[in-house]
Amino acid sequence: MQNIQLSDGRAIPQIGFGTAAIGEMHQDDGFVKETILKAIDAGYRHIDTAAFYGNERSVGKAIAESGMARDQFFITTKVWDTQQGYQPTLRAMEQSLERLQMDYADLYLVHWPYPEKTRPTWQAMEKLHAEGLAKSLGLSNFRKQDIQQLMDFAEIKPVYNQLELHPYLTQKQLVEYCESKGIVVSCWSPLGTGSWSGVEKSEKPIADSVITALAEKYQVSAGQIILKWDVEQGRIAIPKSESDENIAANLALDGFSLTDEELTQIDQLNQDKRYGGDPDNAWQDNLNSPVPE
């Protein structure tokens, strides 16, 4: 799988392995570790976790047990809303690295916009970057106004914004804005969210007739069609899977290409449909959900 160049000059694998709710949210055990080891065996080198997922220990153990050097991996983690602010963010990173048993994270993200805390949080992240604890800095779920707020004072510009983005929520204007600022867009729940959401498979984009027709045409899975749609437009995608078959398939995207017309067809499936939290108010609920110990 190819890499994308971030605006700070660092390279990031275009397909990452999502770890939110492996098993279930906050699960941190042998099953989680073994699932991540399966992904590593399949070829994933970009692993995406977060303090809030509660599974950083399992990620760290999987990396340690893989037999591969730390510098072969690109590890992303995130500061949660209850951890935002200057000193709390410094402490949050210390705790994340402790759980991961690592000296640094490749990419550190603000998990959700919490506007009144954005400035001190980002300034703490700049300090972590200066100390080599966070090699690259980025955002998650940030809206245009959140990015504009941050750009007013940021000495180090964000290189990445991870969004809920799938064929039913294409966020085209926000994507264009990010790209105009040199921010690479990454997609969480690229296939239309996981089992944790309680959404029926039939209601997800992987069941859409446009997607399934293309899957049939190219003799690939519906998931591969959606991931190829992201990859061909220069986005990063972070699919999560627990099955050997899908773990392998989500990386196997080189055998076919979508036409411009087909990319447009998928773009036109947009319904502005969110399965996850809404950045307009998610931080309010998130403050009631602390990071698990």
Residues 6+ apart with CB under 8 A from 145: none
Please choose, from the candidates 190, 259, 250, 188, the residue with its C-alpha nearest in 3D space to the C-alpha of residue 220: 250
129 among annotated binding-site residues: no
Report the distance separating Cα 184 and Cα 198, nearest Å. 29
| Exposure string over 49-84, b if 16+ CB within 10 A, otherwise e | bbbbbbbbbbbbbbbeebeeeeeebbbbbbbbbbbb
221 Cβ contact list (under 8 Å, min separation 6): 215, 246, 249
CB 15 within 8 A of CB 227: yes
Reply yes or no on whether 86 is catalytic. Answer: no
Task: Choose the catalytic residue: 53, 108, 160, 168.
Answer: 53
Looking at residue 166, the DSSP 8-state letter turns out to be B
Three-class secondary structure of residue 210 per DSSP:
helix
Specify binding-site residues.
111
Catalytic residues: 53
Residue ranges for the known binding site for substrate are 111
